[in-house]
Amino acid sequence: MVYPLPDPAQLRLQRYFNVFRLIVAGIFLVLGRELNLGDEAPRVFVGATVAYLACVLALGFPDAIRRFGFDRLISIQVVVDVTVLALIMSVSGGFRSGMPVMMLVYLAAAGLVAEGRMVLFFAAFATVAVLFENAMRSYVQTNPAEFVQVGITCIGFFAIAFTARLLAMRAKASESLAVQRGEALGRQQAINERIIEDLQDGVLVMNADGRLRQSNPRASYLLGSVLAEGMNLTEVDPLFAECAARCAGPHGTLLRLGAEGRMLRCRAVHASSPEGRNGDVVLYLTDFEEIQKQIQQHKLAALGRLTASMAHEIRNPLSAVTQAADLMAEEKRGDVQERLIRIINDNARRIERMVREVLALGRRDALMREALPLAAFVEGMIDELAVRDAGERDVFRVEIDREATLAVDRAHLHQILGNLIGNARRYCSGGPGSIRLFVTGSARERIALHVVDDGPGVSPEQRAHMFEPFFTTDPKGIGLGMYIARELAEANDANLELLDEQGGGAHFVLTGRSQP
């Protein structure tokens, strides 16, 4: 029967153990007499040493493992070791020859190599051998027995064997855990590499000297160059020398990079802590031209939906105008004609207002952003509302710092605030301070303008459709005001949202940059 080989770690320990046996057998054979071994029976000592050397050589070949099996071979070797050491001890003066100490070394090595409870058997076998030799010596000779020292040494046999076994088990468990962790880390690394390769963004890892450490295929495509690890990125484009500084921040910077001069959004992230700027830098490259194409496609799709909705919305007032005109041609009474003319004028103004709103939406990209002082701008709009009625000023409570600014196009902000203030005035109670306008946020970063009224608020059903085109709760409205207000806000890199205000009332907030 041919037995399989054990795992490499056990096989390596067994080989070291065999080398140790071979060295000990050689020392016994060559220097045994100088070490005062075998004085009581020199021939027996030499014979035992030669036999031990032969056993070590015979059992040390790899073929012995396949023939006897690993566990059985270890047991045979340890039994031979203990037997030879006990025999040498008996012809070398007994316990004082130092052979029990050698047995401790062998038992420790056996505890590291052997499996299961065999180490306790080895300790018990060594104990029996030492006690038997000491008992025979005390019986044959008149010297007093050394049972106390022998007993302590035998206890040490079990302690050493047990401790070595525990250490071997712990080492094996640690090795198994390390192998599992290594395999898991390898799988995770493979997954991360695959994700980076399939990213639509280019990824570059650059060290402090500007040399490339890692990249994905998308980066090579965007830059139009073959990227090699260790190359200086300034060879691809000189702008890489200052990319780490210029492209820091959450939004990055638009740059024309590479051989083709493609417009890319470059964002730099420092791999080390923010305090230590000497580590690697990860550069994310996004094809801005592709983004523009996607935005254009979304715009066309939205325009298609808006056009379809407008056709539906315009059809109703046009029908009313046409019907009123037909009735006017037949009607002779003046009061009825006046009512029909009023219907025609109202629907014509509704169509004109709808067209004006859509034209304003079409001009969303033609903007000139500037840092507008919010306090003065809001007060100017309130003054316009108070031209006909001076009491209108009391309805508004403005709590805006004079230093607060918002980077936005003036005409766009006028239209956005016109919608917000108009809705708030329509639904508020009309009492003093029923509409609050205040600012939050840092004057150097993002800033938020809040418009809050004390009206009935917005129901959950209405909240879900608040910014959809042609959704309105006003019978005279056309439903484009809030939709266009949000579109104009986004065109100015701002955000318009309706907060979930507790206690009633609508709470709109316009958030944007304080500086262009």
Which 3 state secondary structure label does DSSP give 327?
Answer: helix
Alpha-carbon distance of 55 to 60, in angstroms, equals: 8
Supply the pLDDT for residue 277. Answer: 47
Choose the most confident range, by mean pLDDT, from 8-17, 352-361, 406-415, 457-466: 406-415
Alpha-carbon distance of 505 to 498, in angstroms, equals: 11
In CATH, the number for domain 294-362 is 1.10.287
Q: Are strands 396-399 and 435-441 parallel, antiparallel or unpaired?
A: parallel
Alpha-carbon distance of 259 to 154, in angstroms, equals: 80
pLDDT band at 275 (very low <50, low <70, confident <90, very high): very low
Sign of the torsion angle spanned by Cα atoms 480, 482, 487, 489:
positive
Residue 380: is it exposed, middle or buried by C-beta count within 10 angstroms (0-12/13-18/19+)?
exposed
Residue 451: is it exposed, middle or buried by C-beta count within 10 angstroms (0-12/13-18/19+)?
buried
User: Is 504 or 331 the better-scoring residue by pLDDT?
Assistant: 504
Tokens 């830098």 appear where? Answer: 281
Is it the case that residue 456 has pLDDT exceeding 50?
yes
In contact, 5 and 66? CB cutoff 8 Å: yes
Please give the average per-residue pLDDT across 212-221, as a whole number: 86
Of 189-198, 250-259, 268-277, the poorest mean pLDDT is in 268-277
Please give the average per-residue pLDDT across 280-309, as a whole number: 71
Please give the average per-residue pLDDT across 53-75, as a whole number: 79
The mean pLDDT of the chain is: 79
Q: Which sequence spans correspond to the domains of the chain?
A: 8-177, 202-291, 294-362, 369-513
Q: Are strands 212-215 and 202-206 parallel, antiparallel or unpaired?
A: antiparallel
Is it the case that residue 187 has pLDDT exceeding 70?
yes
Supply the pLDDT for residue 330. Answer: 67
Look up residue 176 and give its two tokens. 């198994």
455-484: b (≥16 Cβ within 10 Å) or e: bebbeeeeeeebbebbebeeeebbbbbbbb
Residue 511: is it exposed, middle or buried by C-beta count within 10 angstroms (0-12/13-18/19+)?
middle
Supply the pLDDT for residue 443. Answer: 57
Alpha-carbon distance of 353 to 196, in angstroms, equals: 51
CATH class of 369-513: alpha beta
In contact, 228 and 295? CB cutoff 8 Å: no
Please give the average per-residue pLDDT across 89-112, as a whole number: 82
Is it the case that residue 56 has pLDDT exceeding 60?
yes
User: Is 327 or 401 the better-scoring residue by pLDDT?
Assistant: 401
Instruction: Output the CA–CA distances (angstroms, integers) from residue 318 to 313, 337, 347, 356, 480, in the order listed.
Output: 9, 18, 7, 16, 18
Look up residue 261 and give its two tokens. 């001069």
Is it the case that residue 272 has pLDDT exceeding 70?
no
Alpha-carbon distance of 54 to 30, in angstroms, equals: 15
Is it the case that residue 316 has pLDDT exceeding 50?
yes
User: Is 28 or 464 the better-scoring residue by pLDDT?
Assistant: 28
Supply the pLDDT for residue 14. Answer: 78
pLDDT above 90: percentage of residues in the chain: 0
Look up residue 275 and give its two tokens. 């305090």
Supply the pLDDT for residue 308. Answer: 61
Residues 6+ apart with CB under 8 A from 147: 134
Is it the case that residue 377 has pLDDT exceeding 60?
yes
pLDDT band at 276 (very low <50, low <70, confident <90, very high): very low
In CATH, the number for domain 202-291 is 3.30.450.20
Which strand ranges, in their side-by-side order, compose the sheet holding 281-287? Answer: 212-215, 202-206, 281-287, 262-270, 253-257
Q: Give me the helix-helix angle, 410-427 and 374-385, nearest 10°.
A: 50
Look up residue 150 and give its two tokens. 């022998």
Sign of the torsion angle spanned by Cα atoms 276, 282, 286, 287:
positive
Supply the pLDDT for residue 274. Answer: 47
In contact, 439 and 377? CB cutoff 8 Å: no
Is it the case that residue 386 has pLDDT exceeding 60?
yes
Q: How many residues does the chain have?
A: 516
Supply the pLDDT for residue 173. Answer: 82
Please give the average per-residue pLDDT across 490-502, as a whole number: 81
Nearest to 253 by CA among 296, 206, 210, 288: 288
Is it the case that residue 141 has pLDDT exceeding 70?
no
Of 282-296, 307-321, 455-469, the poorest mean pLDDT is in 307-321
Q: Nearest 5°: phi and psi at 479?
A: 80, 20
User: Is 324 or 69 the better-scoring residue by pLDDT?
Assistant: 69
* pLDDT one-digit tens code per residue, 327-343: 666 666 666 667 777 77
Which 3 state secondary structure label does DSSP give 505?
Answer: coil
Q: Alpha carbon 416 to chain centroid distance?
A: 39
Look up residue 114 and give its two tokens. 């052997």
* pLDDT one-digit tens code per residue, 192-208: 777 777 777 888 888 88
pLDDT band at 311 (very low <50, low <70, confident <90, very high): low
Supply the pLDDT for residue 459. Answer: 79
